[in-house]
Every structure is written in C-alpha cells, then in structure tokens.
Structure 1
Amino acid sequence: MSEIDRIKELFLYDIIVAIAKIKYIANKFDNPEDLKYDFLHWDSIIREFEIVGEAMNYCIKFNLFENEKDKRKVIDFRNILIHKYFGIDPEAVLNIAKTNLDWLEHMIYDRIKQIEPQLKEELKKEMIEENKNLDFVKKALDKIQ
C-alpha cells in the first residue's frame, strides 16, 4: 500500500507511536554524547524523528490541520536530520526529544479526537496490534479517546 492509498488518519497515529518511541529512548540518556555514540539508540531516535516529520508532511498534504505554520517546523527538523546527517547536534536532538515534543503530542491527540469514533477505534486497534510487544507504545495509544 502506498502512502496515497493509506487511510490518511493513520499518519496521526504514526506520529503518536514515533513520539512514544523517541521519549522512551531519550529517557535512557542524560548525556547527548552518550546517545550519539550508542549507534542503535541514536539511529533509532533519528529514524523516529524522520517518521514524525514525514507523517506530518502527509497530514498537511491531506489537510488534517487548518494551520500548518507550527507543523512546518516539524518537517523542517526532519529535513535537517535527513540532509545534514553528518552535522547533527546530539544536544539539540536530546533536548527536543526530552522537552519539545509535548506540544506536538497534545496537538495530535486533539486532532485524533475529531476522527469519527468507529474509524478512530479501528485505527487504534490496528496500531496496538502492530506494536503489541511495546508496552510504552500501547500506553500512548490508550490515551486516545
């Protein structure tokens, strides 16, 4: 299934899952350099930020938000990670992961509240099944009302 064939609201759920993964990883580190030199966690957190940015790009493309100004910053950060991968500041990455994602997470939850209830539950069940081995992701998805 291509991104175009996909149910557009799933991109909102992708962002919730990716944020949960980013926070889970970030909470393991106090020192940005430790994160950078732990390649499994570093690569994982960068990949999840890329997913957030790409999913937000589709959310804007599919008009899931009225105002795209703040959302554009998310996409810009993704572009920096992808295109300037050799000069990424680990302190900035860890800081964003630990302190700057709550506004985005709340905004996504608020937008998910507007989805038709049956579709919202179907998508939630699908994402929980897809991430059933990750309790912290299930907790993030359980916040969807």
Structure 2
Amino acid sequence: SSPGARGTTPPPTILPSSTAPTPLPRDTTAFLDRLRAFASASDPARSELLEGDDAASSWDKTDWRVAAMFQWDEPVKVTRAPGRIDVMGGIADYSGATVVQSPTAVATHVAAQRRVEDDATPGKLIIVSRTRQKKKTATTKKKKKKTEEGEEEK
C-alpha cells in the first residue's frame, strides 16, 4: 500500500495474485493503519495532523525511525504469515512437524519496499522487529493490619 499523492491515503490495493482473504484479517488492517500513520508522520504537509494524536504520542524512537525509512510515495508491499503450532504444542514452522498443524491467532507482518538510491551502491536490507503485546500489570491485594482502633490498610 502507498499513500499516493501528497496529503491523501487511498485504501490498500490487493494484487490479483494475492491469496489474502476478503475482508482482510483485523491484525492486517491494524498493521496497514499503522503504516498509514507512519506515512502521514513523514509527510510535512500532514505531520501537523498528528500533533496531539494519542497513537502518535505513544510512539517511541523506533516508530519514528520506521516512519522515516520508507519512501511513502512509492509502493510498499505487505505480507502476513500466520504462526502455526502442531497438535502436540510444538512450533510447526521450526520443528519440521509431521503432525496436524493449526494456525494461531498471532501472525507476523512484513512491509517491504525496493529502494534504489544509487546504482553504484548495493542494496541493503533493514529489519525492524516489533512485538506488540499488551502490558500486564500485576495486581496485589492490600493487607490489612489490625490495630486497637480497627483495621487499616498496610
């Protein structure tokens, strides 16, 4: 998907050779939305729209680097690879599983773009790996301490 003309972000184009399901899985749609946000952030004409945006304000240094990595006026190819486990609980892609495999809810997304900066410079591959897991906060029960006057929190 690419943003096309400056200031506009068209919907993704699904190539005829694609095996993507219709409609796209929610995690893929979320990934594409994130790429669109990166494209907007890297476009000076639209970056002011992100000021105060809750999503952009939560970005870290890596997010901003990714936004600057792509040439957003050129096509960006996106692919999704679902994780799979075998029925015995092993990771099927790495174990050479010969038992029944089942897809998991977790998938890996890749955004790739061909860039030619200089004919004399060999191509390079930059990999950024992000884990988007919800942070779990531990809850603890407060113990109450008995006193002569009653109970108070400790």
**Structure 2 length-normalised TM:** 0.24
Is the helix fraction higher in 1 or 2?
1
**Higher RCO (CA-CA < 8 Å; seq separation 6+):** 1
Larger Rg: 2
Is the strand fraction higher in 1 or 2?
2
**Structure 1 length-normalised TM:** 0.25
